Amino acid sequence: MDTKTKKRRKAFVDTNDCVACGCCVKVCPKHAMEIWKGVMAKVDMERCVGCGKCAKECPASVIEVKEVLL
């Protein structure tokens, strides 16, 4: 068993419905969110710690925090 494989919580954006408002960028304590090409939010998986702050702030409710195996 690879001991480096762990379950981690990460934010995922439903980019179809993201309105690129930038609210998630402002609240993320890890600076893991950016507005990509001015059209949608993009998560930096290396930086995201899955705290869920962005998901709470998103006015369009398009961010979901999920457990992933990394």
For residues 54 and 33, the answer to whether their CB atoms sit within 8 Å is yes
Question: Shortest Cβ distance from residue 3 to ligand SF4 (Å)?
Answer: 24
Q: Is 12 in the site for ligand SF4 (CB under 6 A)?
A: no
Q: Is 50 in the site for ligand SF4 (CB under 6 A)?
A: yes
Q: Is 49 in the site for ligand SF4 (CB under 6 A)?
A: yes
- Give the total residue count for the chain: 70
List contacts with ligand SF4 (CB under 6 A): 11, 13, 18-24, 27-28, 30, 32-33, 41, 43, 48-54, 57-58, 60, 62-63, 65
